[in-house]
A and B are shown apart, each in its own frame.
Chain A
Amino acid sequence: MEDSVSIATRAAIKRAKRRKSPKVTRDDLLMGLFQAIARFDIVQIGPLTIDLEELGEAPGEASKDETDKTNKQKVAYSSDAVALFERAAHIARKDNSSKVELVHLLVAFAYVDSGLMAQLKEKYGLSSMEWRSALSKWQPVSLEKLEPSSKIGTGNKSAIEFKEKQFFSPDEAAEFLDVHTQTIRGYIRTGKLPALRLAGERALRIQREDLLALLEPYKPEEK
């Protein structure tokens, strides 16, 4: 399963491609973040309601282009976007988070005073403090809910579907344990996770028992 930051960054790249720009800008990134958390094209952060439609991000147009896999235009992150990632990593560290979450990237925009963020600040009469304050209370909805229509890859299986399952493909196994497919493939490669090959085929299958055996009780470190 793709995490929400991956969904947002991929949406940012797609937006740059749609604009036929060689650069993924800060605006692309902000819009990618919004697309990752929007429902019905509405972004709700605390008391703030941001309408993506009003910002000119027409949903129909977006989803059509985003499914266009033939777009091989090479786009690179701009220096502004690079600086924003670094600021988000700094914010995540101050927040005692081992990973950069979507909220850290959003908070990093508090200090941006140009482009789309400047428009938003003006339109909603937002100060940097109000933006950070809204985000400090923000609870993202669960991943199932924020699954945007543009999401790439396999659809999420419901818990019920998995309940009956005995054999999992690497993608399904990744979804089952809420890790990346590459993690599962890595475990298989190193022998940590036993896998079966369908006779004469390349496809791999993993048994439920073997997946569950990967989990062990967490023991807090003794100080």
Chain B
Amino acid sequence: MACYVAIRHLPGITPEVLTGAGLRAKSCADEMTEEGIPVRWLRSFFIPETEQTHCYFEAPSSDAVKELNERANIPFSEIHEVQELVPEAV
């Protein structure tokens, strides 16, 4: 399964907003998976300096990631496929 990043620019974002978004993303991912679109929220990183959040998903397509974010009502500016690189693999 491919890995995608959803990039969000959320000025003035609070930890509460991030937590709420995470809860919604989890439930929507479960629902979509049950519907036959296996999508999974992997993890997110918030970059305080740029007020950007990078959220990583495992999904069959970027459209699935887009749909998940729309269902969870989380705004995003870009979605890209990413290549994963881990220390163990190099």
Residues of A at the B interface (CB closer than 8 Å) are 2, 5-6, 9-10, 12-13, 69, 71-72, 74-79, 81-82, 85-90, 92-93, 100, 152, 182, 190-191
Q: A92-B19, A191-B88 are in contact. Are A72 and B28 (CB under 8 A)?
A: no
Contact (Cβ within 8 A) A82 B24: yes
Contact (Cβ within 8 A) A82 B20: yes
Nearest A residue to B24 via CB reads A77
Supply 12 A–B pairs (Cβ within 8 Å), ascending by A.
A6-B27, A10-B27, A13-B31, A76-B73, A77-B71, A77-B72, A77-B73, A82-B20, A86-B16, A86-B20, A89-B16, A152-B34
Q: A77-B71, A77-B72 are in contact. Are A100 and B24 (CB under 8 A)?
A: no
Lowest 5 A-B CB distances belong to which pairs?
A85-B20, A9-B27, A89-B19, A89-B16, A86-B20
Q: A6-B26, A82-B24 are in contact. Are A190 and B73 (CB under 8 A)?
A: no
CB within 8 A of A93: which of B15, B71, B73, B88? B15
Chain A interface SS verdict (over half)? helix
Q: Give residues 1-57 of B contacting A (CB, 8 Å).
A: 14-17, 19-21, 23-24, 26-28, 30-31, 34-36, 40
B26 CB → nearest A CB, Å? 7
Answer whether residue B67 sits at the interface, using C-beta atoms and an 8 A cutoff.
yes
Which residues of B sit under 8 angstroms from A89, Cβ to Cβ?
15-17, 19-20, 23
- 16 more A-B contacts (CB under 8 A) besides A6-B26, A81-B73, A93-B16? A5-B23, A9-B23, A69-B34, A75-B71, A77-B24, A77-B71, A81-B24, A82-B73, A86-B16, A89-B19, A93-B15, A100-B20, A100-B23, A152-B30, A182-B40, A191-B88
Which residues of B sit under 8 angstroms from A69, Cβ to Cβ?
34-35
